Amino acid sequence: MTQLAMERTKLRAAKSNIPISLEYARLDLSDQSSIRNFVEEIKRKNYDIDLLINNAGVMWFPQSVTREGIETHFGVNYIGHFLLTMLMLPLLKESSRILCLGSSTSTYGSFDFGDLNLHKNYNRFLAYSNSKLAISHFTISLSEKLKQSKKKKSVFYIDPGSVNTEITKSMPFILRFLYATVGKYIFKTLYQGACCSVYASIAPELEDQSGLFLFECKKQHNVFRSEGKFNDERERLWIISEHLSNTEYPF
């Protein structure tokens, strides 16, 4: 949640060894000033950026808020990535790709625009699901805006499936125990969980296919709330997101 590894990879032809250069920059998605500082640092280094993966997240946190007073799941998993993406868009090369990591739990999401922070009836599962539903809407909205701006930048929604990671550390003890024991036999490994993201990052057949939802490296159709009848909900979410992040679409 508080550390993003910026991977600047230099690949050179070699028999069996592929040298990799890694650089790290601090990024706290629960603190919008940290996000802005991070982007300023990237600007100073003048990188050629081909790929942005919005992968960080929290899951089933106790009721809490970010530095800006936004419910933690919504603030970190969605608004933090919304702000980061808006600030990074002008820095991304043409034909670059943006990956937004989602979850099948988005199907359980349900927005109350009068209470996005869930003050009235906080529920960890609903809070997490709402943040992933927001990512789903964001993918569609951003893809449409990029097309309207005639920008050759693509955005994809990635459902990695159930992966055995440390994101479960904030779950109740019994659930953490089940993840650590039974989970290792039924959930994906880190390698397996990353496969779809890697595919979406480099697959040539996805060129000019912005807006796709991908699971198991395959296109998904009839995704929950992707229909046109939810355009009003998406537009309302976008307006609120710009307000909460104090930013706007740059093109």
Of the candidates 78, 223, 92, the one whose C-alpha atom is nearest the C-alpha of residue 146 is: 92
Distance CA 83, CA 81 (A): 5
SS3 189: coil
Give helix 124-148 / helix 231-245 axis angle, nearest 10°.
100
β-pair type (92-101, 49-54): parallel
Residue 214 near residue 203, CB atoms below 8 Å: no
> Is 199 annotated in the active site?
no
- Active-site pick, 24, 47, 128, 185: 128
User: Which residue do the tokens 């537009």 mark?
Assistant: 235
Q: What share of the chain is helix, strand, coil (3-state, %, to 5)?
A: 45, 15, 35
Distance CA 89, CA 152 (A): 11
Tokens of 67: 């530095």
Distance CA 190, CA 147 (A): 33
Instruction: Tell me the HSE value of 239 on the side-chain side, using a 13 A CA sphere.
Output: 7
Distance CA 211, CA 140 (A): 6
Catalytic residue numbers, as ranges? 128
